[in-house]
């Protein structure tokens, strides 16, 4: 019988570090793990190896971050803080950036959209990760590209298109 060796794993992977600062988020780690698995399965060549830190916190904490780093004195659902380096130019793993999600805003939005909080959080995690890799929505063309990637990733997880309607 021939020796069957499985193909090597791709040398691309994202490692995530989850910090749950606001206990209302509950057990969000399985959602995060599913999101990162979907990102790598969807397009492993787009996403380099490295680390991403995710902070699940409160509106108050996100408002403070938004004010200090972006000059906007208000809470928002998700903030992304990419590193200053071009992450795709590195051979080895690097820290790609940080993402912060505000519980009260995310919860309110999920209720308004009539979707599960975990599904809305998945959407925002994908949104944040795409920002870390340089995607943006400053103009209509960029927004369409980013929204398409988000909806494709969500579909891979069996989550409906949040932009439908």
Binding site: residue ranges? 127, 131, 137
Which residue ranges make up the annotated binding site for Zn(2+)? 127, 131, 137
Nearest to 56 by CA among 18, 105, 14: 18
| C-beta separation of 11 from 47 below 8 A | no
What are the Cα distances from residue 80, in Å, to 15, 86, 102, 161? 16, 15, 12, 22
Q: Following DSSP, what letter does each residue of 23-68 receive, concatenated?
A: GGG-S-HHHHHHHHHHHHHH-TTTS-SEEEEEEEE-HHHHHHHHHH
User: What distances in angstroms separate CA 16 from CA 1, 5, 13, 96, one per listed residue?
Assistant: 40, 29, 10, 10
């Amino acid at each position: 019988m021939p020796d069957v060796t499985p193909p090597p794993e791709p040398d691309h992977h994202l490692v995530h570090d989850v910090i749950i600062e606001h206990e209302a988020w509950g057990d969000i780690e399985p959602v995060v793990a599913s999101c990162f698995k979907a990102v790598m399965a969807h397009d492993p060549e787009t996403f380099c190896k490295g680390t991403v830190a995710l902070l699940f916190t409160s509106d108050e904490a996100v408002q403070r971050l938004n004010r200090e780093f972006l000059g906007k004195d208000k809470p928002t659902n998700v903030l992304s803080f990419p590193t200053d380096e071009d992450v795709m130019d590195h051979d080895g793993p690097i820290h790609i950036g940080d993402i912060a999600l505000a519980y009260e805003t995310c919860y309110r939005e999920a209720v308004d959209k009539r979707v599960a909080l975990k599904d809305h959080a998945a959407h925002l995690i994908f949104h944040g990760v795409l920002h870390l890799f340089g995607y943006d929505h400053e103009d209509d063309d960029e927004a369409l590209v980013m929204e398409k990637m988000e909806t494709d990733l969500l579909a891979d997880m069996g989550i409906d298109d949040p932009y439908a309607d």
